[in-house]
Structure 1
Amino acid sequence: MQQTPQKLFELFDQGTEILQAALRSSYLDAMLENAENIIDGHVAVEDGVPDQKTVAQLTQLYKELDLPAASPEAIRQVLQLSFLKVIRKDAIQANHQMTPDTIGFLMAFLIEKVSDFDRPYTIFDPTVGTGNLLTTVINQLQKANSEPVHGYGIDNDPAMLEVASASIALQKLDVDLFHQDAINALDIPQCDLAVADLPIGYYPLDKNTSGYQTRAQEGHSYVHHLLIEQSMNYLQPGGFGVFLVPSNIFQTKESQTFVKWIHSVAYLQGLINLPAELFANQGAQKAILLLQRHGGQSKQAPKVLLGEFPSFKQPREFSAFMQEIDQWVKTNLK
């Protein structure tokens, strides 16, 4: 009988707690060491640390922890719960927060509906962080489509990439990770899909933005505009980009340049606000932006997908809205 994600997490967390005490490290370092032990199949010892008693304790614990029998999605949940504990225990800064599952599943649902591959395909995330969003989407796509998917993740934070690397290895997913600033030229091929929970704010290195059409005429440029432009550059003709953006993305003074650029390279196929209840105030509300690169079989949808997801507390209305999206795809994109 498979262990539940909660049981898997409890056992995994015990290993992290034991290692944190033995190594006298941060919770993040202990979690990564714990994951590496499981990936390698043995407890790593350096200069006699951890001691033999701890090694024996961990070895027994790993025998009880049946990760090989768990689904990739269950393993992703274990790593997600572990990182949430890292945030609490190590007081990790706010920009390292993970995309909540509710949002990840909605983005995955939309990607699943607009894409239908009868061949191996590729997806990338230019702000991959811990890999939670990318692996959520890949796991959902794999349930809906048996074709193999290869992922790419880019991030300039080595600590977050370590978490992503451990998560991907434990889930046995086919994903390559790159440590770099995603505003610079990327080391990836053109892909079929892009997904990102975009950072919001200004990009400080103006010199790096000289080739961007969405850069500000004066002062710093919006990093989310730049990352959307960069993502579309690395999509195949007809490829879809699905981005988590501020709901007011088309209501700022920079939006005129941004919209002009969109029309030059892509079709604006949809903008759906997330439920207002997920955000502390209206100004913080976010939306899912759906863009499709020009070329291939792509065309402008006769009716752009606009609206707002109903509250999760209204399951009937929420289900009806999801069916409306399904119908919109069939009548506007297929």
Structure 2
Amino acid sequence: MNFEKIEQAYDLLLENVQTIQNQLGTNIYDAMIEQNAAYVAGQHETDLVVTNNKALKQLDLTKEEWRRAFQFLFIKANQTEPMQYNHQFTPDSIGFILTFLLDQLVSQDSVTVLEIGSGTGNLAQTILNASQKKLDYLGIEIDDLLIDLSASMADVMQAEISFAQGDAVRPQILKESQVIIADLPIGFYPDDQIASRYQVASQTEHTYAHHLLMEQSLKYLEKDGYAILLAPNDLLSSPQSSLLKEWLQEQASIVAMIALPPSLFGQQAMAKSIFVLQKKTNQAPAAFVYPLQSVQEAETIRDFMVNFKKWKQENAI
């Protein structure tokens, strides 16, 4: 990976996005979508944008270099036009851990993946670029802006990925996948009528969206597949947790729980852990439970990987 090229690409992208934003009088995210369309088409009414896009093409960026350049652009955009917390992209360090889990848990070389709440597509691109598997990847996202952003960036990167717009809590016509990925949103789902169809639904208040999406994720999962989910640390002790635990006892097996460093999330209340679920089976392995103290220290990550591989071997996963 060439960091000098990434910096050059970021500078060119930023200049184009700011130029387009000023011309259209729009927000920076809509300007990013317009810039991506101009890059793919190879034309624009502004000579500067065309010239910069030609320079971008000449850099011949890899998919990972593109992803990093876009990530820097999002960081810059977030300084002036912050996205809501649930729309922030998943840290790369977590993305690499999720990729490791996917690669370890699935023995097949080709894997079907559904990401629920794919957001800007950064997590999807992280996993696609880092995985050792050939992934048939679909992201589903409800937000108009985010789906347009993720699709436009995928076009620029020529990434083999599909995105669909939809509310993942509502029934969707989707094929079952070997792996479900989700960085679950924290908060309540507003539609009590839709929520009432779920076993985890609260009878006294709005239901937690992440509870509903956990239950929904298993409906899209193949029999022996895995749901790899980022969910709040207090998942099993928070209000409404009794409803979730009752559903888990009947329908799902917790394969792994990996606690992540709270410092990754800025606010303690937003801290998450990784939960790996399977559909209920009579021969579920003893759960892999691991407190990951750091994602920055190579030795700590290496110890985690060694312990996970040992657990996998002992349980014939």
Q: TM-score, normalised by structure 2?
A: 0.92
1:275 and 2:261 equivalent? yes
1:75 to 53, 66, 82: 66
Distance 1:57 1:285, change over 3 A: closer
Aligned residues of 2:116 and 2:141 also touching (Cα < 8 A): yes
Matching residue of 2:5? 4
Whole-angstrom CA distance in 2 between matches of 1:28 and 1:129: 13
1:167 and 2:167 equivalent? no
Whole-angstrom CA distance in 1 between matches of 2:118 and 2:54: 31
Note the C-alpha offset of 1:94. Answer: 2.9
1:300 and 2:290 equivalent? no
Matching residue of 2:114? 124
Whole-angstrom CA distance in 2 between matches of 1:4 and 1:68: 7
Gaps of 5+ in 1: 46-54
Whole-angstrom CA distance in 1 between matches of 2:269 and 2:21: 40
Q: How does 1:1-334 map to 2 (within 5 A)?
A: 4-43=5-44, 45=45, 55-66=46-57, 69-118=60-109, 120-141=110-131, 144-145=132-133, 147=134, 149-280=135-266, 282-294=268-280, 299-301=283-285, 303-334=286-317
Distance 1:162 1:189, change over 3 A: same
Whole-angstrom CA distance in 1 between matches of 2:72 and 2:259: 26
How many corresponding residue pairs? Answer: 316
Distance 1:250 1:316, change over 3 A: same
Whole-angstrom CA distance in 2 between matches of 1:314 and 1:79: 25
SS at match of 2:284: coil
Aligned residues of 1:39 and 1:170 also touching (Cα < 8 A): yes
Distance 1:317 1:83, change over 3 A: closer
SS at match of 2:274: strand
Distance 1:116 1:92, change over 3 A: same
Note the C-alpha offset of 1:21. Answer: 2.7
Provide the aligned C-alpha RMSD in A: 2.2
Whole-angstrom CA distance in 1 between matches of 2:126 and 2:164: 19
Whole-angstrom CA distance in 2 between matches of 1:38 and 1:331: 50
Note the C-alpha offset of 1:320. Answer: 1.4
Note the C-alpha offset of 1:7. Answer: 2.2
Gaps of 5+ in 2: none
Aligned residues of 1:130 and 1:160 also touching (Cα < 8 A): yes
Aligned residues of 1:8 and 1:66 also touching (Cα < 8 A): no
Note the C-alpha offset of 1:116. Answer: 2.3
Q: Which amino acid aligns with 1:191?
A: S
Aligned residues of 1:125 and 1:154 also touching (Cα < 8 A): yes
Distance 1:309 1:248, change over 3 A: same
Note the C-alpha offset of 1:162. Answer: 0.9
Aligned residues of 2:42 and 2:50 also touching (Cα < 8 A): no
Whole-angstrom CA distance in 1 between matches of 2:244 and 2:225: 19
Q: Which amino acid aligns with 1:258?
A: L
Q: Deviations over 1:55-83 (max 9, x none)?
A: 22222211211378322222122222222
Note the C-alpha offset of 1:313. Answer: 4.8
Q: Which amino acid aligns with 1:131?
A: G
